Amino acid sequence: MKILKIVLLASMLNSLYSHDPGKDNLDWKQYYRLGSVYSESSDMGYTGYGRLKRTTSLTFRDIRFFGHFFKEDSEIRLRHKYSRRFLSLEKTYSYSTLIYEKNTNLNVKLRYHLNQGLGYFIRKSNSGNMTLELGVAFDNSDYLNTEQKTTYIRGGFSIDQAVKTFSTKFEVDYFYQLSEVALNPSLSRYQILGEAKWSINNNLGVISGFTWDIQSEESSPSAFLTLSLIKPVAWQF
């Protein structure tokens, strides 16, 4: 429990040791994808993705939606994330993430999820980043009409790299269950994302990849192929 208190305290101290970055290097972008998806447990389906991102010199904020839709099952995730770098520790940042999830492949009808903590840039450059995150997470889930509230320790790792017209991304989150739940022996899980993108031009691209929520031995990855569109937004707020 000491680790939980330290992470929460450090996250809250961010408001004391950072300033309002205002609109320094303000940048808005919007992202869209549409394509097909395949899962061994659900066969073929279609996938959609939308994202709106706002960044400044010290802050990152985005809201994103992705959905895999099959004949009988669906996997939906709506996420909002906000992070702010510390002034005195340029490679360190605090973050807060709110997620709505539905994954009928795992019998999750509804999951409200919140996690917050600290992150660290192992590498930060114009061609790509590598980060580590550690924090606490809470969710409220509906499993077959039974409500369950669960607490976790969360660890996250991400890496992305771009070389000319080709780029890759890999993300893995691990949630270690702390609180006991009567109906499920363990809700600890991995959430994995892998992507490879070929850019046709500055706006259009083709992305292939997979998502995988590993919570049980029966879970299987979903592989997708999409056409992507990126457009800047001329907003000044």
The pLDDT value given to residue 141? 76
pLDDT digits (tens, 9 = 90+) for 112-160: 899 999 999 999 998 999 999 999 999 887 665 566 788 999 999 999 9
- What DSSP string describes 204-237? EEEEEEEEEEESSTT---EEEEEEEEEEEE----
pLDDT tens profile 199-214: 999 899 999 999 999 9
Whether 103 shows a pLDDT value over 90: the answer reads no
Q: Which domain holds residue 184?
A: 2-233
CATH of the domain at 142: 2.40.160.40
- Asked if the model's pLDDT at residue 183 lies above 60, the reply is no
Burial profile 11-29: b = 16 or more Cβ within 10 angstroms, e = fewer: beebeeebeeeeeeeeeee
Using a pLDDT cut of 90, give the percent of the chain over it.
64
Residue 164 in this model has a pLDDT that exceeds 80: yes
Q: Tell me, what's the pLDDT at 6?
A: 54
Confidence of residue 87 (pLDDT cuts 50, 70, 90): confident
Who wins on pLDDT, 66 or 8?
A: 66
Question: pTM for this structure?
Answer: 0.84
Q: Number of structural domains, the chain? A: 1
